[in-house]
Amino acid sequence: MSNVIRLDFRAPRGDGVRLVFDILYEYGAAAGYRVLLIRDDTEPHGATYKVVVGDVRDVEVDVVAIEPYTVDGRFDANLIGAAIVRTLEVIGRRPAEPDAA
């Protein structure tokens, strides 16, 4: 997947390319996932904020939102990150469904 980012350079991708980003902010963790904000300087049109979500036990994350690297972009990224964490909290509170017979 081209939108998979590894936050730990010690975990190489299958194609040998390693993408490393500094975590600017961690919005929180819920339902086994964590939500982070990173800055990506690799975009051809300039730096961007990326809200990413990944399993708390893994270094791989998926991009769920991209915002421009501006004050307004950071504001929007913060709203998105908080909304995702809240959604995961709600999902995490749901009781497990019984196995179908």
pLDDT at position 100: 57
Local confidence pLDDT in tens for the 101 residues of the chain:
444 455 544 445 555 555 678 899 999 999 999 999 999 988 888 999 999 999 999 888 899 999 999 999 999 999 999 999 999 999 998 877 766 55
Q: Where are the alpha helices (DSSP H) in 1-101?
A: 71-93
Check residue 9 and give its pLDDT. Answer: 41
The pLDDT of residue 20: 73
CA torsion through residues 46, 53, 65, 5, sign? positive
Stated pTM of the model: 0.76
Confidence (pLDDT) at 10 = 46
Left if phi > 0, otherwise alpha if psi is -120 to 50, otherwise beta: which for 28?
A: left
The residue ranges of every structural domain in the chain are: 4-93
